[in-house]
Structure 1
Amino acid sequence: MEDWMDHVPEATRNYLEGRRLDEVECIISDLPGIARGKAMPASKFARQTSFFLPNSIFFQTITGGWGEAAGTTGFTEPDMILRPDFSTARAAPWTADWTLQVIHDAFDQKGVPISMAPRNVLKHVVQLYEEQGWTPVVAPEMEFFLVARNLDPANPVHPMMGRSGRPAAARQAYSMSAVDEYGPVIDDIYDFAEAQGFEIDGITQEGGAGQVEINLRHGHPVKLADEVFYFKRLIREAALRHDCYATFMAKPIAGEPGSAMHMHHSITDTDGQNIFSGPQGGETDAFFHFIGGLQTHLPSVIALLAPYVNSYRRYVKDHAAPINLEWGRDNRTTGIRIPISEPESRRVENRLAGMDCNPYLGIAASLACGYMGLMDETRPGKSLRGEAYDGEEDIPRGLYAALDLFDANPRLHNILGSDFARVYSIVKRAEYDEFLQVISPWEREHLLLNV
Structure 2
Amino acid sequence: MDTSITDTNAWMDDLPEAARAYLDGKRLDEVECIVSDLPGIARGKAVPAGKFARQDYFHLPDSVFYQTITGDWGEAAGDEGFIERDMTLVPDMSTATAAPWTGDWTLQVIHDAYDRKKAPIPYSPRNVLRRVVDLYHAQGWEPVVAPEMEFYLVARNLDPAEKIKPMMGRSGRPAAARQAYSMTAVDEFGPVIDDIYDFAEAQGFEIDGITQEGGAGQLEINLIHGDPIKLADEVFYFKRLIREAALRHDCFATFMAKPIAEEPGSAMHIHHSVLDRKTGENIFAGPQGGDTDAFFHFIAGMQNHLPSAVAVLAPYVNSYRRYVKDNAAPINLEWGRDNRTTGIRVPLSSPKARRVENRIAGMDCNPYLGIAASLAAGYLGLMEEKRPTPQFRGDAYQGEEDIPRDLGYALELFDEATSLHEVLGPEFARVYSIVKKAEYNEFLQVISPWEREHLLLNV
Structure 1 length as normaliser, TM-score?
A: 1.00
- The alignment status of 1:311 with 2:319, answered yes or no, reads yes
- Taking the aligned partners of 1:149 and 1:378, their CA distance within structure 2 comes to 49
TM-aligned CA deviation for residue 223 of structure 1:
0.2
1:218 aligned residue (215, 220, 225): 225
- Taking the aligned partners of 1:301 and 1:425, their CA distance within structure 2 comes to 11
2:356 aligned residue (345, 348, 354): 348
2:121 aligned residue (109, 114, 131): 114
- Taking the aligned partners of 1:417 and 1:3, their CA distance within structure 2 comes to 36
Match of 1:69 in 2: 76
Match of 1:371 in 2: 379
Match of 2:27 in 1: 20
TM-aligned CA deviation for residue 140 of structure 1:
0.1
Match of 2:156 in 1: 149
Superimposed CA distance per residue, residues 97-131 of structure 1 (whole angstroms, 9 cap, x where no aligned partner): 00000000000000000001000000000000000
User: What amino acid is aligned across from residue 205 of structure 1 in structure 2?
Assistant: Q
- Taking the aligned partners of 2:11 and 2:40, their CA distance within structure 1 comes to 26
2:432 aligned residue (420, 424, 449): 424
Match of 2:3 in 1: none
2:402 aligned residue (394, 406, 431): 394
Match of 1:444 in 2: 452
- Taking the aligned partners of 1:441 and 1:155, their CA distance within structure 2 comes to 11
Match of 1:174 in 2: 181
Cα RMSD for the two superposed structures: 0.5
User: What amino acid is aligned across from residue 141 of structure 1 in structure 2?
Assistant: E
Superimposed CA distance per residue, residues 406-435 of structure 1 (whole angstroms, 9 cap, x where no aligned partner): 000111111101010000000000001110
With 48-57 and 6-15 compared, the bigger mean Cα shift is at 6-15
Superimposed CA distance per residue, residues 227-260 of structure 1 (whole angstroms, 9 cap, x where no aligned partner): 0000000000000000000000000001100000
- Taking the aligned partners of 2:433 and 2:264, their CA distance within structure 1 comes to 28
TM-aligned CA deviation for residue 436 of structure 1:
1.1
- The alignment status of 1:2 with 2:17, answered yes or no, reads no
Superimposed CA distance per residue, residues 316-349 of structure 1 (whole angstroms, 9 cap, x where no aligned partner): 0000000000000000000000000001000000
- The alignment status of 1:127 with 2:153, answered yes or no, reads no
The alignment covers a number of residue pairs equal to 451
Structure 2 length as normaliser, TM-score?
A: 0.98
1:364 is paired with a residue whose SS is helix
Match of 2:49 in 1: 42
Match of 1:51 in 2: 58
Match of 1:406 in 2: 414
Superimposed CA distance per residue, residues 354-381 of structure 1 (whole angstroms, 9 cap, x where no aligned partner): 0000000000000000000000111100
2:220 is paired with a residue whose SS is strand
Superimposed CA distance per residue, residues 55-75 of structure 1 (whole angstroms, 9 cap, x where no aligned partner): 000000000000000010000
Match of 1:358 in 2: 366
Match of 2:200 in 1: 193
Match of 1:289 in 2: 297
User: What amino acid is aligned across from residue 425 of structure 1 in structure 2?
Assistant: S
User: What amino acid is aligned across from residue 12 of structure 2 in structure 1?
Assistant: M
User: What amino acid is aligned across from residue 318 of structure 2 in structure 1?
Assistant: N
- Taking the aligned partners of 1:169 and 1:326, their CA distance within structure 2 comes to 32
- Taking the aligned partners of 1:148 and 1:198, their CA distance within structure 2 comes to 27
TM-aligned CA deviation for residue 279 of structure 1:
1.0
- Taking the aligned partners of 2:53 and 2:10, their CA distance within structure 1 comes to 8
1:301 is paired with a residue whose SS is helix
TM-aligned CA deviation for residue 2 of structure 1:
1.5
Equivalent residues in 2 for 1:152-301, closer than 5 Å: 152-269=159-276, 270-301=278-309
Structure 1 stretches of 4+ with a deviation exceeding 4 A read none
* Percent identity over paired residues: 78
- Taking the aligned partners of 2:13 and 2:296, their CA distance within structure 1 comes to 44
TM-aligned CA deviation for residue 6 of structure 1:
2.5
TM-aligned CA deviation for residue 7 of structure 1:
2.4
User: What amino acid is aligned across from residue 249 of structure 2 in structure 1?
Assistant: H
